[in-house]
Amino acid sequence: MPGGSILIYLMRRDLRTADNPILYKLSSTEHGFTHLLPVYILPPDQIEVSGLVKDGKKSPYPPARYDLSQRWKCGHLRAKFIAESLWDLKRNLENLGSGLVIRVGSFDDILNGMIQHYAANQHGPQVTAVWMTEDYAPDQRREEQAVSAICEARGIRFDRLYDVKYFMHDLQLPEAKTSIDCLPDSFHLFWRALNTEAEKPLDPFPVPARFSLPSFPDHASLPLQESPFEIPGTLEELIQKMQSPVHLPMVHLDRPELRDTAIPQALLGGETRGQQRVGYIIKKGIVSSYHLLSDDVHVGDAYHGLLSYLSLGCITARQVHQELLKLECGTDPGLAQTLGFGRGCSAGTESIRYHLLVLNFIRLSIVKHGSELYNLEGAGMGKNPLKTWKSSVIRDLDRPGQAVDNVVSMTQFLMGLTGFGLVDAIMRQLYITGQVTARGEEIAIGFFALYAGFDWRYGAEYVSSLSTVHDPFFYFYSSQNYAGVGPSCEAKDSHISLAEISQQVDPDGTFIRVWMPELRSFPRRKNVYRVSTTASSLLQRYGLASSIMVTHEVPSAAETGPFTETTNARRDPIENIAALARREDRPIPTESIRAPGGLEELGPRLGFGDRIHLEAPLGLAEPNELPQGPPPSSRGPSLPSRSGRGAAKAQVASTTGTPAPPAEATVRWNSMALEQINPLALHPVTAPPPPLRYHPYVHNLDFLFCQLLLMHTFRHIGSRP
């Protein structure tokens, strides 16, 4: 082509220059391209981009929230990690004589705009090909399909190259030679099927030599970012703009001692930092003793911390393997003083490789099951349509207090205020550091789904939103398995004993006390494990007598027997019968739903008539979005502290004459500043808030804080189908 040929390299989760299949191919083979244009697109359906709009403008894209919980898909810590990774990649590409263009928008819009931009200058270089690495998640596959359709329509060559960031190449795996449907759902069966030869990863590609890549297009001719977005010129500004719309302030975690704890554990994004992290955990001997940390929930210095880098492709698993070989074979003199130097494979290094192979297996499982991993009923052999779950959207408002109770409990889990020290410490650590160990995630999701009985998808979205790991389906897969309905079937029909687990993973309560400063003075471990077991005199002394962890401890699913939901298979017909009875202002005809598998599925007979309380999921939005307007009139009694649960049930049972509410209710809250309330104090920080009409128990400020966090989010529900 007279003006030159441009190859557009769309980068996603391959943010590295070393062991990069596309850069290696371009630097080592004949390709015919005169220019290379690496592009990273910030997808508005996965990352919130409203902070990058120009002043006075509005984003044309809807908020990047999960449909169910309304949490941000990409939280503030991951936004920072992605920004740092992009800036590091940009610097590394520039050192090779190339560059990186960052844009905001959908893949098809950005790619169409770039192709049209160069086509407008007939004497200049033209886009002749688009390359990208393959990805496995449903969102990424939709992006590949959109790019493929555009290239096909414009007669441009489109190639997808296999991403080599996994421990094992697909060609080394038996399932790749047959069909993905032959992949076993159990990792242990998958592991046994591997032969010895297949367990040897391929060598990583080297970094391309300087100026070995096709030329980067002239900056003056680069396509501009379309309005209303603009890309900042500094890393600090990019981080600030990406974090501003998704930051979730939590007053009770804004403590100097927690910030000081988090600083040593903070991970900076990027290929350079990822390689440094690999070198650090090897030189410090962390990998040599990693097999001893299978039950560890602390993400401190001894935690490998590689998952965030691996998920974005800042480093590859086979790069980690190559560095482990230098330790085991004794080929790096700089490791001579490191534990295990020159002694071959150890239990610790094999444990690291084991975890890298697990990531390989999870990727293949996501390819096999796809969007089924988001189904409430489960996926694969663990699928269970008769499993019951608690959720929190208000469809049946005969008993609104129960739905509010569920939302409060879910919010307590998110904020680390459940009253169970180990679970709260894990969630606080996740919020502050963006990291959670596999064992910590298992405990948190096990508590949320198996102990409390909540819809496991909420927990998966909470953890994914707060984590720096840019792979939501990774958490859907693991959470579904921890909830007992996943493909592996390993947790099916299992139960969780928090007392036993707490003693096992934190025998002296050290981990809990690190992340829960308010419990550090408690002398007895059982009080640290479960705050409500503390004597009232001690609670008064330490200022926790009115804490929500004491007055509104998250209950187990067994404690909510009469309010347990019906099975998914029976839900719709029961809801229709109940709704018709309310519209006609008559008792629910329970005899019509007492057929085999009818009311029995609801759990114990209700002790206050035959009222049926059904719920559906309620989304939680962010606390910085306070809707305007007066509070609603009261719709009956609200739920008090746990000690008054029996009285509350009896009170609701005796309530009559309540007008039938609409099918979908939007609860609005009066404008109130969250910063006025400190949930761990006994009094407001500044001026007291106006009295609450929806919930009368305002003496408990922890409970009030949770109410504020959830009430102003209900406005999202009114627009949902």
Residue-wise pLDDT tens digits, 348-391: 999 999 999 999 899 989 989 988 999 999 998 888 888 888 87
Residue pair 458/539 in contact (Cβ under 8 Å)? The answer is no
The least confident of 114-118, 208-212, 215-219 is 215-219
Please name the amino acid found at residue 129: A
CA distances from 254 to 251, 263, 281, 550, 626 (A): 5, 13, 30, 21, 21
- pLDDT value of residue 691: 35
Residue 376 DSSP code: T
Per-residue pLDDT for 39 more than 70?
yes
Tokens 């939103």 label which residue? 465
Query: Which class in CATH covers the domain with range 5-164+214-243?
Result: alpha beta
Q: Which residues are annotated as a binding site?
A: 290
What is the dihedral angle through the alpha carbons of 390, 391, 397, 400, rounded to the nearest 10 degrees?
80
| DSSP run (H or E) holding 392 | none
pLDDT digits (tens, 9 = 90+) for 633-649: 333 323 333 333 333 33
What are the residue ranges of CATH 3.40.50.620 in the chain? 5-164+214-243
**Region 498-502 average pLDDT:** 90
Residue ranges of alpha helices (H) inside 495-638 are 498-505, 510-515, 525-529, 536-541, 548-551, 568-583
6: nearest Cα among 98, 138, 87, 91 = 98
560 DSSP 8-state letter = G
Residue 721 pLDDT > 60? no
pLDDT at 209 over 60: yes
Nearest to 407 by CA among 621, 719, 636: 621
Question: Sign of dihedral through CA atoms 118, 119, 121, 126?
Answer: positive
Q: Is the pLDDT of residue 122 over 90?
A: no
Binding-site residues for FAD, in ranges, read 290
pLDDT digits 0-9 by tens, 439-477: 999 999 999 999 999 999 999 999 999 999 999 889 999
How would residue 403 be classed by pLDDT, with cut points 50, 70 and 90?
low
Decide: 296 and 505 in contact? Cβ < 8 Å.
yes
Q: Residue 573 has what pLDDT? A: 56
Write down the pLDDT at residue 146: 94
Cα torsion 474, 185, 455, 356: sign = negative
Query: Dihedral sign, CA of 147, 152, 154, 160?
Result: positive
Binned at pLDDT 50, 70 and 90, residue 687 comes out as very low
Lowest-confidence segment of 165-179, 437-451, 495-509 by average pLDDT: 165-179
Architecture of domain 251-374: Alpha Horseshoe (1.25)
CATH superfamily of 400-565+615-719: DNA Cyclobutane Dipyrimidine Photolyase, subunit A, domain 3 (1.10.579.10)
Residue in 231, 6, 238 with CA at minimum distance from that of residue 114 = 6
Q: What would the pLDDT profile of 78-98 be if each residue is shown by its tens digit? A: 999 999 999 999 999 999 999
Tally of residues, the chain: 721
**Is a pLDDT exceeding 80 seen at residue 588?**
no
Termini Cα distance of the chain: 52
Q: Which residues is 102 bridged to in the sheet?
A: 40
β-bridge pairing 35-42 and 5-11: parallel
- Main-chain dihedrals φ then ψ at residue 580, nearest 5 degrees: -65, -40
Location of each CATH 1.10.579.10 domain in the chain: 400-565+615-719
Determine the average pLDDT of the residues in 301-314.
Answer: 90
Q: Give the per-residue pLDDT at 608.
A: 24
